[in-house]
Amino acid sequence: MSTLFAVLMAGGSGTRFWPASRKSRPKQFLPIGGETALLQRTSARLGETIPPQRQLVITAAHTVEATRALLKDVPPEQIVGEPEARDTSACVGLATCLVEQIDPEATVIAMPADQLITPEDSFREHLLAAEEALAAHPERVLVFGVEPTRAEQGYGWLRRGAQLGDYRDRPVFELDAFVEKPGAADAEKMLKAGGYAWNAGMFAFRLQAMRAAFQEHLPDVWAGLKRITADWNTPDFAAELAREFPRLPKISIDKGVMEKLRGTLMLPLPLDWDDVGSWSALERLREADKAGNVVDGRAVVLDAQNNLLASDEGCVVAVKGVDGLIVVHTADATLVCRRDDDQGVKALVKELEARGLDRFL
């Protein structure tokens, strides 16, 4: 059995959580739904199954030091900063090249650094099941599919095929297809039909399988990454990374590699999972009052119902006579939008940038 290694993808900006999430403190640094940062909980969730010494974190260059401060037990050289965001294909490819230098026989679990998953002991068992499935099929890549609980339109879905076998008493299936983010009607149909899962953006692979996938589908990206990582742990690495990485194409790992592969496996995750993708996540993480208001922080509410209210420490939100709003107050910025339009916060952030208000981003 190979050694399990984790790649934590921590380069996201979390714009849908503005104004709490900023470039200097993106979503994974926020204690959403708990007392510690999402990034810390992601690392700790792996337990002794994948201890910090076998974790690699890919983050933004300007958050490397903050990440090292949060994850003190992860070797500092294994926290690497992207000089420019180039989406997940460059992130995963970079991580693959680096893990090859640490442990050429590793099985890698790649995951976003800003999700919530419980129970954690069951999650770790699923990681071990993935490792066993890939030991039996080292040439394949495995994706984790979250069992859906609602007709969600904000996620891509996975359609499972025939069952391939059981590993640690957990079924593993052939992946039949990736399904784009559906409309409401299609999401309802898939939920009722069964045999579908949400695409959690988590996957597992033996190094040789991902190497072969990049060489076939993104050969130029792989060649550039190999040039960069040849200098890892040398004085030349930072300069080479800064020079070469921004030249890589900006494409997701799903579009660039995963959707083109044949024989991909799918392991269902029948667990409580949340990608904490936008402010609406609060309604799943905090209990509402009798009027349907959800509060994170300090708020004063009079004659108001069905609102999501959040405030930074030292701030307060006060509302009266309103219904169905999101109100978020921080020291220097306030967000107000309809509760059913939380996805529109990303567009609002783009407008702030277009107007030259970068100091608030």
**87-102 and 219-229 are packed helices; what angle lies between their axes, rounded to 10 degrees?**
50
Lookup result for tokens 């799903």: 254
Query: Is 186 in the same domain as 293?
Result: no
- Whether 181 and 254 have beta carbons less than 8 Å apart is answered as no
Q: What is the residue-averaged pLDDT of the chain?
A: 95
Give the pLDDT confidence of 11-33 residue by residue, as tens digits.
887 889 999 999 989 999 999 88
Query: Is 14 in the same domain as 136?
Result: yes
Provide the residue type at 62 as one letter: H
Output the pLDDT for position 57.
Answer: 98
Q: Per-residue pLDDT averaged across 129-136, rounded?
A: 98
Output the pLDDT for position 1.
Answer: 59
Range of the domain at 329: 279-360
Query: Is 221 in the same domain as 356?
Result: no
Which of the listed residues 251, 274, 297 is the one where a domain comes to its end?
274
- Whether 134 and 266 have beta carbons less than 8 Å apart is answered as no
Alpha carbons within 13 angstroms on the beta-carbon side of residue 221 total 29
DSSP state of 245: G
The pair of structure tokens assigned to 287 is: 């209990």
Output the pLDDT for position 34.
Answer: 85
Query: Is 241 in the same domain as 330?
Result: no
Which of the listed residues 239, 274, 309 is the one where a domain comes to its end?
274
- Whether 32 and 53 have beta carbons less than 8 Å apart is answered as no
Q: Per-residue pLDDT averaged across 108-126, rounded?
A: 97
Lookup result for tokens 């399988």: 209
Strands across the sheet with 294-296, in order? 294-296, 308-311, 325-329, 334-338
DSSP state of 135: H
Q: Per-residue pLDDT averaged across 265-279, rounded?
A: 94
Q: Per-residue pLDDT averaged across 257-269, rounded?
A: 97
- Whether 293 and 306 have beta carbons less than 8 Å apart is answered as yes
* Strand extents, DSSP E, the chain: 4-10, 55-60, 79-82, 107-112, 116-118, 141-146, 157-167, 170-179, 196-206, 265-269, 272-274, 294-296, 299-302, 308-311, 317-320, 325-329, 334-338
Query: Is 27 in the same domain as 128?
Result: yes
Query: Is 127 in the same domain as 185?
Result: yes
Q: Which of 37, 328, 284 is nearest to 154 (CA)?
A: 284
Distance of CA 311 to the CA centre of its chain: 24
The least confident of 26-40, 121-135, 206-220 is: 26-40
Q: What residues contact 155, with CB distance under 8 A and at least 6 apart?
A: 181, 198, 199, 275
Query: Is 294 in the same domain as 171?
Result: no
Q: Per-residue pLDDT averaged across 323-340, rounded?
A: 96
Secondary structure (3-state) at 294: strand
Output the pLDDT for position 13.
Answer: 79
Query: Is 266 in the same domain as 298?
Result: no
Query: Is 221 in the same domain as 325?
Result: no
Query: Is 109 in the same domain as 212?
Result: yes
- Whether 267 and 131 have beta carbons less than 8 Å apart is answered as no
Which of the listed residues 244, 274, 304 is the one where a domain comes to its end?
274
Output the pLDDT for position 14.
Answer: 80
Q: Per-residue pLDDT averaged across 211-226, rounded?
A: 96
Q: Per-residue pLDDT averaged across 263-274, rounded?
A: 96
Give the pLDDT confidence of 238-252 residue by residue, as tens digits.
999 999 999 999 999
| Structural domain count, the chain | 2
Query: Is 254 in the same domain as 283?
Result: no
Give the pLDDT confidence of 57-88 residue by residue, as tens digits.
999 999 999 999 999 999 999 999 999 999 99
Q: Give the CATH number for residue 61.
A: 3.90.550.10
Query: Is 192 in the same domain as 283?
Result: no
Q: Per-residue pLDDT averaged across 340-353, rounded?
A: 92
Output the pLDDT for position 117.
Answer: 97
Give yes or no for residue 2 having a pLDDT over 80: no
Lookup result for tokens 């419980």: 118
